[in-house]
Structure 1
Amino acid sequence: MSGHHGPAVSAKLPPLTAGPHRKRIGLISIVACFGGLLFGYDTGVTNGAEGLMAQELGLDLIQLGIVISSLVFAAAVGALVCGRISDSWGRRRTIILLAVMFFIGTLLVVFSPGGPESGTFSPTGFAVLVAGRIMLGLAVGGASTVAPVYLAEMAPYEIRGSITGRNELAIVAGQLAAFVMNAIIASLLGGHLDGVWRIMFAMCALPAVALFIGMLRMPESPRWLVEKKRYDDALAVLRTVRSEERALAELREVEQTAQEEAESGDVGFKAILTNKWLFRIVLVGIGVSMMQQLTGINSIMYYGTRVLEEAGMSAQQAVLANIAFGVVAVIGGVIALRNMDRLDRRKTFLIGLTLTTVCHFLVGIAATLLPAGSPIRPVVILALVVAFVFSMQTFLNVAVWVWLAEIFPLHMRGLGIGISVFFGWTTNGFLALFFPSLVAGIGLTGSFFLFGGIGVLALLFVYKQVPETRGRTLEALEEDVTTGNIYVVQPQDIKQ
């Protein structure tokens, strides 16, 4: 098989047409994105709830760190396990299972018992709370891998970037919703009664129910059905989301790839260990996932209020200013979706890393030059951190999730994205656990200079190692990833 066999197949696909099937794909993406919304809400809600929760339950800093980071470490496991489950059990069923886990996790957190009176520690309460956070974490990790894969496999390749990217937009919308709900609930009820933080967490139950009911009515991924040799079912699904001739042509292409996979004999873990190109792409996937976390974006999303207080804001100002992070993240996400099918993924990564690294160094310089107590210090630092979050969302976050959902071959897609995201979540977990100590130890200045230095290394990594995926079918990509051609054949050579 020659390296040019893949793109030649895609060239034969009939063009995308308008019609009810386009609306159907829109509806499917909205329902599946409730997973992203839950992911965002559950990770963002602690940003305003952690203080109140620690007070009422009598948690010290380490116990608080455990409550916050337990979700993140569990998400690492959830990403890995649910990726595997979705390869064997189906994308749709796995997402339905995740909806149930979101709901149960929320109940455990909301009803975790406190001590005999407010402010006293209860070992049982702490155990139930951490169990709830772990359950939520498994669900968040699962949603972070299975929802983008489901969307990438449902979407036509021409608009795959913007369809798959909607999940990341849903994540930041969930974080913004959490910041806004926290601010509203805190200002309406704050200080008057215990358990305000429980109301903040209880809000997560609603989208979990919506995801559960919605996914019961959604179809299974046609690519997964082909992998399981259920060709008639796959065609029936494709007919609802493509024009008739496009559905037939696409089914043929997916069948052909699945057949070639079956003939090669090795799938999943075995294939990764026996094919050096698959092994390499998994390593690159791990690198991309860790690079996204090492910008420190989630340290801001979890501990934004702490960073702003460190910069010189009052607690009240910090909670309100924190909403700015959520707002620019959503605006950046909307811009990213518009660019997703226009700009190459590599270019997007390089622009994003350049901007975030510059922002890191500028925060470090501002924190050094402006003395503590200077009235403009918090304002300048807030502006630079907002610029950082905006750059991150506009260029890096959406593109990273889309790229990860596209790059792996069908027989190991859930596994490949699961392994990559496992390392991303683990990196995120260590940052969540140690970030408060890092800022306490080397200050804001040192922390941001450190992130800036890592950014420079990440730029080199992307430039040297990350292949392009835009504008090609998943099947054409699979061919080139498996044979190593993806490192030789550049997309611009194909378009001629």
Structure 2
Amino acid sequence: MKFVTLVSMIAALGGLLFGFDTAVVSGAIGFMQDRFELNEVQVGWAVSSLIIGCIFGAGFSGVLSDRFGRKKVLIAAAILFIIGSLGSAIPDTFTGYIIARIIGGIGIGITSTLCPLYNAEIAPAKYRGRLVALNQFATVTGIFLVYFINSGIAGWGDDAWDIASAWRWMFGIGVLPGVLFFILLFFVPESPRWLIKQGRSLDALNILLRIHGEEAAKQEVLDIKQSFAQENGSMKQLFSPGLRIALIVGVVLAVLQQVTGINAVMYYAPEIFKTMGAGTNSSLVQTILIGFVNFAFTIVAIWLIDKVGRKALLLIGSSLMTICLAVIGIAFQTGHTTGPLVLVFLLIYVASFAISLGPVVWVIMSEIFPNRIRGKATAIASMALWLADYIVSQSFPPMLASAGPAITFWLFGVMSLITFVFTWRVVPETKGKSLEEIESLWSAK
């Protein structure tokens, strides 16, 4: 467990980049809006341009990782992230910023898909949930850290300095975790399942011996080989009876994770608090509180996911999210937003997401598809997730301005209710099953 945990932690650093790059814009966007004189649509584009890159990165990650291996493609993703962070910090034009964010987004799309997939392929079944969820823990750690970083940088100078330079430092400091991830990736092994797919069973066995011990490692090699023998590697296989349900579960859960509104809250938290009457400093402090709750309850999820199970956490979280979003909408509708009510229910909403859709969706996406086409299938689900994220982040500012916060949060609440019903009726429990056992589960349907 020491070996596999260390390897999983290094791979999960991709989640740290994911969290950092998606949340850093929350502190920078207000200053950028003044610097480049952005309208509401441009504000949405400044946030969601990263996600365009993520869609492409996720879409190509499966094909590339199936051909070149998980490790090499993750190294390339780290390089793209570093280029994107530097490029976002130095432009004098809004267009230059957008190009850099898209480049960085390609790297994030790759890591968001392959890091949990890699951890799922290397982890023992008994601990796979928590080891894959390490990626989400790293993501929320990145979000939490960046809120502190943004708040600290914003305090370095006056308002004029913030508009001219603060946002540049916020983006540029992302180079540091990018370089760390790049270096550490050279110390992790390749995925044993990918190695077996390439006919390198002995190399895979040497890795599995360090994870399972001799007898279990040899049995796992045989199980993996047998699963490959039963697959043809064609994408048509995903649309066959049984596996079609796996594709529906992966894609629908990926979309629901985003359309329930979490990234609208994360990206625009300071601006949401400003609509409630908070000043710039106060809104950044409240945003840090959201980051802390997200961080703390993700730790709870890691502790629970292999004990309680994936499905139970999804049901608990989505039901609480539905209630919280309904109350927040009522508060905005009735004008009761100046007290602690909205903040309290926003925190409960974030906590509910952190124990459920946040980590669990990535775990399920990484474990429900067959070995031979796992990379491509996970890429499809991940691409759907990022496409939904783009739609939400691009539409949130104009929706907030036109429909108002009450309607906006109620719409997110309806999506949370749909998540509860879909999970209850369609999503199976995968706790404690090996990847090959999960594959057999779909084949039996």
- Match for residue 19 of structure 1? none
- Match for residue 16 of structure 2? 37
Moved more, 146-155 or 343-352: 343-352
Matched, 1:255 2:225: yes
Per-residue Cα deviation, 1:266-310 (whole angstroms, up to 9, x for no partner): 31423224x132223212211111111111000000001121122
Where 2:242 maps in the other structure, the secondary structure is helix
Instruction: Give the one of 384, 389, 394 matched to 1:428.
Output: 389
Aligned positions of 1:305-320 closer than 5 A = 305-320=270-285
Where 2:30 maps in the other structure, the secondary structure is helix
Asked if the contact 2:122–2:191 (Cα under 8 Å) also holds between the matched residues in 1, the reply is yes
Q: Distance in 1 between matches of 2:211 and 2:229?
A: 23
Q: Distance in 1 between matches of 2:230 and 2:103?
A: 38
- Match for residue 332 of structure 1? 297
Per-residue Cα deviation, 1:330-367 (whole angstroms, up to 9, x for no partner): 00100000001101211111111101001011111222
Per-residue Cα deviation, 1:398-456 (whole angstroms, up to 9, x for no partner): 11111111111111111111111211111111111110111111212111112112222
Q: Distance in 2 between matches of 1:281 and 1:289?
A: 12
Per-residue Cα deviation, 1:157-190 (whole angstroms, up to 9, x for no partner): 0000000000001001101111110001111234
Structure 2: runs of 5+ lacking an equivalent: none
Where 1:177 maps in the other structure, the secondary structure is helix
Structure 1: runs of 5+ lacking an equivalent: 1-21, 115-124, 485-496
Cα 1:48–1:362, aligned 2, differ >3 Å: closer, same or farther?
Answer: same
Q: Distance in 1 between matches of 2:313 and 2:113?
A: 21
Matched, 1:103 2:82: yes
Matched, 1:283 2:248: yes
- Measured on the aligned residues, the alpha-carbon RMSD in Å equals 1.5
Asked if the contact 1:409–1:481 (Cα under 8 Å) also holds between the matched residues in 2, the reply is no
Larger Rg: 1
Asked if the contact 1:310–1:444 (Cα under 8 Å) also holds between the matched residues in 2, the reply is no
- C-alpha displacement of 1:368: 2.8
- Match for residue 205 of structure 2? 235
- Match for residue 331 of structure 2? 366
Aligned positions of 1:84-483 closer than 5 A = 84-112=63-91, 114=92, 125-191=93-159, 193=161, 194-261=164-231, 266-273=232-239, 275-371=240-336, 375-376=338-339, 379-483=340-444
- C-alpha displacement of 1:147: 0.3
Q: Distance in 2 between matches of 1:73 and 1:190?
A: 33
- C-alpha displacement of 1:192: 5.7
Report the residue type matching 1:157 in the other structure: A
Asked if the contact 1:165–1:399 (Cα under 8 Å) also holds between the matched residues in 2, the reply is yes
- C-alpha displacement of 1:156: 0.4
- C-alpha displacement of 1:70: 1.0
Report the residue type matching 1:332 in the other structure: F
Cα 1:429–1:334, aligned 2, differ >3 Å: closer, same or farther?
Answer: same
Report the residue type matching 2:260 in the other structure: T
Asked if the contact 1:345–1:469 (Cα under 8 Å) also holds between the matched residues in 2, the reply is yes
Asked if the contact 1:409–1:482 (Cα under 8 Å) also holds between the matched residues in 2, the reply is no
Moved more, 86-95 or 352-361: 86-95
Q: Distance in 1 between matches of 2:280 and 2:152?
A: 15
Report the residue type matching 2:304 in the other structure: N
| Alignment coverage as a number of residue pairs | 443
Q: Distance in 1 between matches of 2:336 and 2:9?
A: 47
Matched, 1:60 2:39: yes
TM-score by length of 1: 0.87
Cα 1:269–1:190, aligned 2, differ >3 Å: closer, same or farther?
Answer: farther
Q: Distance in 1 between matches of 2:145 and 2:157?
A: 17
- C-alpha displacement of 1:248: 1.7
Instruction: Give the one of 46, 50, 53 matched to 2:25.
Output: 46
